[in-house]
Amino acid sequence: MNENKNKLCIIYWGLIRGFKYEKTYLTHKKNIYDKLNNQKINFDVYIITNEKDYDDIYINKIPNVVILKILKISNIRKNEKYIKSLKNIQYTTPGWNDIFQENISLVNYNKNFIFKLIPSNYKKYLAMDISHNIEKLDIKFFNNNNCVPKKHNCNGYNPRFLISNYDTLKIELTKLEYIINNKNLIFHNPEMFLKYLFDKNNIKIIETDDIIINRIRTNGEILYDL
Protein backbone atom coordinates (compact mmCIF):
# COMPACT_ATOMS: atom_id res chain seq x y z
CA MET A 1 0.00 0.00 0.00
CA ASN A 2 2.94 2.38 0.49
CA GLU A 3 3.34 2.70 -3.27
CA ASN A 4 0.11 4.74 -3.31
CA LYS A 5 1.78 7.71 -1.67
CA ASN A 6 3.16 8.88 -5.01
CA LYS A 7 0.01 8.11 -6.99
CA LEU A 8 -3.14 9.97 -7.98
CA CYS A 9 -6.45 8.28 -7.22
CA ILE A 10 -9.21 8.93 -9.79
CA ILE A 11 -12.78 8.20 -8.67
CA TYR A 12 -15.54 8.16 -11.26
CA TRP A 13 -19.15 8.16 -10.10
CA GLY A 14 -22.51 8.70 -11.82
CA LEU A 15 -24.29 7.19 -14.81
CA ILE A 16 -22.02 6.13 -17.65
CA ARG A 17 -23.89 8.16 -20.31
CA GLY A 18 -21.11 10.03 -22.11
CA PHE A 19 -18.76 7.05 -22.05
CA LYS A 20 -21.06 5.46 -24.61
CA TYR A 21 -19.59 8.02 -26.99
CA GLU A 22 -16.02 8.07 -28.25
CA LYS A 23 -15.85 11.88 -28.16
CA THR A 24 -16.39 11.91 -24.38
CA TYR A 25 -13.85 9.18 -23.71
CA LEU A 26 -11.33 11.08 -25.84
CA THR A 27 -11.69 14.24 -23.72
CA HIS A 28 -10.74 12.17 -20.66
CA LYS A 29 -7.90 10.48 -22.50
CA LYS A 30 -6.49 13.79 -23.75
CA ASN A 31 -6.92 15.85 -20.59
CA ILE A 32 -6.32 13.26 -17.86
CA TYR A 33 -4.68 9.97 -18.87
CA ASP A 34 -2.31 11.31 -21.52
CA LYS A 35 -1.30 14.38 -19.49
CA LEU A 36 -0.58 12.27 -16.41
CA ASN A 37 1.36 9.71 -18.42
CA ASN A 38 3.38 12.44 -20.14
CA GLN A 39 4.32 13.83 -16.73
CA LYS A 40 5.06 10.30 -15.47
CA ILE A 41 2.40 10.62 -12.79
CA ASN A 42 1.07 7.19 -11.82
CA PHE A 43 -2.64 6.81 -11.13
CA ASP A 44 -5.32 4.27 -10.20
CA VAL A 45 -9.00 4.42 -11.17
CA TYR A 46 -12.08 3.49 -9.13
CA ILE A 47 -15.53 3.48 -10.77
CA ILE A 48 -18.97 3.36 -9.15
CA THR A 49 -22.08 3.38 -11.34
CA ASN A 50 -25.50 1.80 -11.88
CA GLU A 51 -26.99 -0.41 -14.56
CA LYS A 52 -28.96 2.45 -16.16
CA ASP A 53 -27.30 3.73 -19.36
CA TYR A 54 -24.41 1.33 -18.75
CA ASP A 55 -22.19 0.59 -21.74
CA ASP A 56 -18.70 -0.83 -21.35
CA ILE A 57 -17.25 -0.13 -24.81
CA TYR A 58 -15.19 2.84 -23.67
CA ILE A 59 -15.21 1.97 -19.99
CA ASN A 60 -12.97 -0.93 -20.98
CA LYS A 61 -10.49 1.55 -22.44
CA ILE A 62 -9.96 3.39 -19.13
CA PRO A 63 -6.45 2.53 -17.90
CA ASN A 64 -5.44 1.30 -14.44
CA VAL A 65 -8.93 0.41 -13.18
CA VAL A 66 -8.64 -1.10 -9.69
CA ILE A 67 -12.36 -1.41 -8.89
CA LEU A 68 -15.50 -1.22 -11.04
CA LYS A 69 -18.79 -1.52 -9.15
CA ILE A 70 -22.18 -1.55 -10.90
CA LEU A 71 -24.92 -1.20 -8.28
CA LYS A 72 -28.53 -2.09 -9.01
CA ILE A 73 -30.83 0.90 -8.56
CA SER A 74 -33.80 -1.17 -7.37
CA ASN A 75 -31.69 -2.59 -4.52
CA ILE A 76 -30.47 0.85 -3.45
CA ARG A 77 -34.02 2.18 -3.27
CA LYS A 78 -34.82 -0.51 -0.71
CA ASN A 79 -31.82 0.37 1.43
CA GLU A 80 -32.53 1.98 4.80
CA LYS A 81 -29.83 4.64 4.41
CA TYR A 82 -31.17 5.69 1.03
CA ILE A 83 -34.74 5.92 2.33
CA LYS A 84 -33.69 7.94 5.36
CA SER A 85 -31.60 10.33 3.28
CA LEU A 86 -34.67 11.15 1.16
CA LYS A 87 -36.61 12.11 4.27
CA ASN A 88 -33.90 14.24 5.87
CA ILE A 89 -33.00 16.71 3.11
CA GLN A 90 -34.94 18.94 0.74
CA TYR A 91 -33.69 21.02 -2.21
CA THR A 92 -35.84 24.05 -2.97
CA THR A 93 -34.73 24.97 -6.51
CA PRO A 94 -37.91 25.65 -8.57
CA GLY A 95 -38.66 22.88 -11.05
CA TRP A 96 -36.67 20.19 -9.22
CA ASN A 97 -39.14 17.42 -8.49
CA ASP A 98 -39.11 14.24 -6.41
CA ILE A 99 -37.29 12.32 -9.16
CA PHE A 100 -34.42 14.82 -9.01
CA GLN A 101 -34.12 14.42 -5.23
CA GLU A 102 -34.21 10.64 -5.62
CA ASN A 103 -31.38 10.83 -8.16
CA ILE A 104 -29.28 13.02 -5.86
CA SER A 105 -29.79 10.54 -3.01
CA LEU A 106 -28.82 7.72 -5.38
CA VAL A 107 -25.60 9.53 -6.28
CA ASN A 108 -24.81 10.15 -2.61
CA TYR A 109 -25.36 6.46 -1.87
CA ASN A 110 -22.95 5.48 -4.64
CA LYS A 111 -20.30 7.91 -3.44
CA ASN A 112 -20.60 6.64 0.11
CA PHE A 113 -20.27 3.05 -1.12
CA ILE A 114 -17.09 3.60 -3.15
CA PHE A 115 -15.44 5.75 -0.49
CA LYS A 116 -15.25 2.76 1.83
CA LEU A 117 -13.17 0.92 -0.80
CA ILE A 118 -10.61 3.67 -1.39
CA PRO A 119 -7.27 3.65 0.51
CA SER A 120 -6.39 6.80 2.43
CA ASN A 121 -2.73 7.01 1.42
CA TYR A 122 -2.84 8.27 -2.16
CA LYS A 123 -0.95 11.49 -2.79
CA LYS A 124 -3.99 13.21 -4.30
CA TYR A 125 -7.58 12.42 -5.28
CA LEU A 126 -9.71 13.39 -8.26
CA ALA A 127 -13.43 12.61 -7.90
CA MET A 128 -15.78 13.42 -10.76
CA ASP A 129 -19.11 12.65 -12.42
CA ILE A 130 -18.24 10.40 -15.34
CA SER A 131 -21.13 11.74 -17.46
CA HIS A 132 -19.11 14.85 -18.39
CA ASN A 133 -16.74 15.92 -21.11
CA ILE A 134 -13.49 17.40 -19.83
CA GLU A 135 -13.03 20.48 -21.98
CA LYS A 136 -10.05 21.91 -20.08
CA LEU A 137 -7.84 20.67 -17.26
CA ASP A 138 -4.53 22.15 -16.17
CA ILE A 139 -2.80 19.36 -14.25
CA LYS A 140 -0.92 21.92 -12.16
CA PHE A 141 -3.97 21.78 -9.91
CA PHE A 142 -2.99 18.29 -8.82
CA ASN A 143 -0.43 20.14 -6.69
CA ASN A 144 -3.15 22.05 -4.83
CA ASN A 145 -5.02 20.67 -1.87
CA ASN A 146 -8.63 21.35 -2.84
CA CYS A 147 -9.86 22.58 -6.19
CA VAL A 148 -13.15 22.70 -8.15
CA PRO A 149 -14.27 24.25 -11.46
CA LYS A 150 -15.66 27.76 -11.10
CA LYS A 151 -18.19 27.18 -13.86
CA HIS A 152 -21.59 25.81 -12.79
CA ASN A 153 -21.05 26.62 -9.10
CA CYS A 154 -24.67 27.85 -8.69
CA ASN A 155 -23.72 30.02 -5.69
CA GLY A 156 -21.99 27.11 -4.00
CA TYR A 157 -19.27 24.70 -5.14
CA ASN A 158 -19.50 22.58 -8.28
CA PRO A 159 -20.08 19.05 -6.86
CA ARG A 160 -19.21 17.23 -10.09
CA PHE A 161 -15.41 17.57 -10.05
CA LEU A 162 -13.04 17.78 -7.08
CA ILE A 163 -9.27 17.58 -6.73
CA SER A 164 -8.45 17.17 -3.06
CA ASN A 165 -6.66 15.49 -0.21
CA TYR A 166 -8.24 12.52 1.56
CA ASP A 167 -9.92 14.47 4.36
CA THR A 168 -11.71 16.78 1.93
CA LEU A 169 -12.65 13.84 -0.27
CA LYS A 170 -14.26 12.19 2.73
CA ILE A 171 -16.56 15.17 3.32
CA GLU A 172 -17.69 15.13 -0.32
CA LEU A 173 -18.13 11.37 -0.74
CA THR A 174 -19.80 10.70 2.63
CA LYS A 175 -22.50 13.38 2.41
CA LEU A 176 -25.02 10.56 2.77
CA GLU A 177 -23.82 9.90 6.33
CA TYR A 178 -24.23 13.56 7.27
CA ILE A 179 -27.74 13.63 5.81
CA ILE A 180 -28.99 10.52 7.58
CA ASN A 181 -27.63 11.82 10.90
CA ASN A 182 -29.20 15.28 10.57
CA LYS A 183 -32.92 15.90 10.07
CA ASN A 184 -34.74 18.77 8.37
CA LEU A 185 -31.90 19.88 6.10
CA ILE A 186 -33.08 22.45 3.55
CA PHE A 187 -30.80 23.79 0.81
CA HIS A 188 -31.48 25.56 -2.46
CA ASN A 189 -29.35 23.09 -4.42
CA PRO A 190 -26.57 20.46 -4.01
CA GLU A 191 -23.92 23.09 -4.81
CA MET A 192 -24.90 25.20 -1.81
CA PHE A 193 -25.10 22.10 0.37
CA LEU A 194 -21.52 21.17 -0.54
CA LYS A 195 -20.34 24.70 0.24
CA TYR A 196 -22.09 24.49 3.59
CA LEU A 197 -20.25 21.27 4.45
CA PHE A 198 -16.85 22.59 3.38
CA ASP A 199 -17.35 25.87 5.27
CA LYS A 200 -18.56 23.97 8.34
CA ASN A 201 -15.31 21.99 8.32
CA ASN A 202 -13.13 25.05 7.56
CA ILE A 203 -12.07 23.62 4.21
CA LYS A 204 -10.59 26.16 1.81
CA ILE A 205 -11.52 25.55 -1.81
CA ILE A 206 -9.89 27.00 -4.93
CA GLU A 207 -12.32 27.73 -7.77
CA THR A 208 -10.76 28.03 -11.20
CA ASP A 209 -11.65 28.65 -14.85
CA ASP A 210 -8.71 26.45 -15.85
CA ILE A 211 -10.89 23.39 -15.26
CA ILE A 212 -13.99 23.15 -17.44
CA ILE A 213 -16.36 20.19 -17.62
CA ASN A 214 -19.71 19.91 -19.43
CA ARG A 215 -22.48 17.42 -18.80
CA ILE A 216 -23.46 14.86 -21.43
CA ARG A 217 -27.11 13.99 -22.00
CA THR A 218 -28.11 10.38 -22.66
CA ASN A 219 -28.42 11.17 -26.37
CA GLY A 220 -24.87 12.53 -26.49
CA GLU A 221 -25.87 16.20 -26.46
CA ILE A 222 -23.43 18.44 -24.58
CA LEU A 223 -25.06 20.62 -21.92
CA TYR A 224 -22.98 23.79 -21.75
CA ASP A 225 -25.23 25.57 -19.23
CA LEU A 226 -27.10 24.09 -16.29
In this structure, what CATH number is given to the domain that contains residue 166?
A: 3.90.550
Determine, yes or no, domain membership for 100. no
Cβ neighbours around 22 below 10 Å, total:
12
The pLDDT of residue 224? 66
Residue 164 lies in a domain: yes
| Residue 49, domain extent | 2-74+105-174+204-223
Residue 42 lies in a domain: yes
| Beta carbons of 88 and 180 less than 8 angstroms apart | yes
66 in any annotated domain: yes
Burial call 185-203: b when 16+ CB within 10 Å, e when fewer: eebebbbbbbbebbeeeeb
What gap in Å lies between CA 179 and CA 168, rounded to an integer?
A: 17
For residue 95, the model assigns a pLDDT of: 73
Residue 179 in domain: no
β-sheet with 132-137: strand ranges across: 132-137, 211-216, 222-223
Taking the model in full, what pTM does it have? 0.94
Q: Please, what sign has the CA dihedral across residues 177, 178, 181, 183?
A: negative
Number of domains in the chain: 1
Domain assignment present for 88: no
Query: What number of helices (H) and strands (E) belong to the chain?
Result: 8, 12
- Answer yes or no: is 145 within a domain: yes
In a domain, 87, yes or no: no
Q: Write out the E strands in the chain.
A: 8-13, 43-50, 65-71, 89-91, 124-129, 132-137, 147-149, 161-164, 185-187, 206-208, 211-216, 222-223
Question: Please, what is the Cα angle at 63 between 58 and 65, to 5 degrees?
Answer: 95
**pLDDT at residue number 119:** 97
Q: What is the pLDDT of residues 11-32, one digit of tens each?
A: 999 988 778 889 999 999 999 9
Q: Quickly state the pLDDT bin for 71 (edges 50, 70, 90).
A: very high
Mean pLDDT over the full length of the chain: 92
